[in-house]
Structure 1
Amino acid sequence: MARHFRRYQPGDTTALIKLINAASSGGGGSGWTHEAELFAGDRIDTAELLSLLEAPGSMFVLCLEGADLAGCAYLKPLEDAAYLGLLAVRPALQGGGVGKEILRECERIVRDEWDGVSIRMTVITHHRPELAAFYERRGYSRTGRYKSFDRLQAQTGMKVPGLTLEWMEKSLA
């Protein structure tokens, strides 16, 4: 079935939270990108999702197969770039190209609609080298700049002390 994209609408909240939490926990399939060994609990809840959408210009990009949600990513415009986060693919579909398609669509939006010159993201590079390698194969570079976690799940459910996020970036020029 052909995949297509659209932007988040208020009626998508429940399905989006279910998808992100399943991808994060590895539930609902045999996905490879889960963080169950690093975190306990849900990745996101309604309050956190809605607070992300309060940032001016921010959006969730949804990838659908027919009417079914296959994946998503969060985009937020920055001064000279865009932030990409919460890239999630339904576990049963991981490894089938959905994540690559979502990245391409997000890059298109930033480049063509926002006139952005780059995309930045934060990735658990030390404990998830396979995830960093996925992004590197798509042109994202590790920067050597790190930040601590600020999401609620990390504050309450971190299983591995000292986890950090590394900024990765891709030029769209």
Structure 2
Amino acid sequence: MSLNIRKVKNDDLDQLVALINIAYRSESSRSWTTEKYFIAGHRITKQQLNYELEQSLFELFVAENELGEIIACIGLTFDKTSVEIGTFAIDTTVQNLGYGREMLHFIEGYVVRYYPVITRLIMYVLDVRSELIAYYQRRGYQVTGRKESYPIEAGVGQPLVATQLIELEKVITRNIYEKSSRKF
């Protein structure tokens, strides 16, 4: 099944808040990326999502299945020569079916096509999420050694264990994506 990936619309917000909170803070038989055992509380509120969407350097994409249901999202925050990937969530009932890989590949191609000055893709992952770090490493992201404290003040949950964020980076190799003819 192929996804219909598009930019977020205002009427998607309630569904997205639910999707993000479930993907990050709950667990189903298919889920493997949960933070449930490491972080308590909501991952995002509608107000926080609205605030992010108002930022001029932020773009959010959603993926719909063949029924038009939103099953994934991924966000981009742009800097001069880099883009931070975040707000990345896949519906727990369809995790481990390749949709995360498809979303990541789509975003990488999108950045290459529309933002030629961007040379680096970065993301931050909880250091206790070794399986998630390994997943991104298999997709070409490398641990940079840079670390940040967990952002408790951002209202994105309360750590249940000692944790910090580690940075992963992928240097863009444009020729991999330039042949993509997909419209955005």
Q: Per the alignment, in what secondary structure is the counterpart of residue 75 of structure 1? A: strand
1-structure distance, mates of 2:156, 2:78: 24
Using structure 1 for the length normalisation, give the TM-score.
0.92
Structure 1 segments unaligned to the other structure (5+ residues): none
- Corresponding residue number in structure 2 for 1:117: 119
- Corresponding residue number in structure 2 for 1:44: 44
In the alignment, does 2:144 pair up with 1:143? Answer: yes
- Kept in 2, the 8 Å contact 1:26–1:32? The answer is no
In the alignment, does 2:109 pair up with 1:108? Answer: yes
TM-superposed CA distance for 1:149, in Å, is: 2.2
- Corresponding residue number in structure 2 for 1:158: 159
- Kept in 2, the 8 Å contact 1:26–1:33? The answer is no
Among all aligned residue pairs of Structure 1 and Structure 2, give the percentage whose two residues are the same amino acid: 28
**Aligned partner of 1:18: which letter?**
A
2-structure distance, mates of 1:167, 1:148: 11
- Kept in 2, the 8 Å contact 1:39–1:159? The answer is yes
Backbone CA RMSD of aligned residues:
1.3
TM-superposed CA distance for 1:30, in Å, is: 3.1
Q: Per the alignment, in what secondary structure is the counterpart of residue 136 of structure 1? A: helix
TM-superposed CA distance for 1:75, in Å, is: 0.6
TM-superposed CA distance for 1:51, in Å, is: 1.5
Q: Which consecutive aligned stretches of 4+ in structure 1 deviate over 2 angstroms post-superposition?
A: 26-30
**Aligned partner of 1:94: which letter?**
Q
Using structure 2 for the length normalisation, give the TM-score.
0.87
In the comparison of the two structures, how many residue pairs are matched? 169
Structure 2 segments unaligned to the other structure (5+ residues): 174-184
2-structure distance, mates of 1:111, 1:149: 30
2-structure distance, mates of 1:72, 1:10: 14
> 1:82-101, CA deviations, whole angstroms, 9 ceiling, x for partnerless residues?
11002110001110001001
Q: Per the alignment, in what secondary structure is the counterpart of residue 4 of structure 2? A: strand
**Aligned partner of 1:41: which letter?**
G
In the alignment, does 2:64 pair up with 1:64? Answer: yes
TM-superposed CA distance for 1:29, in Å, is: 5.0
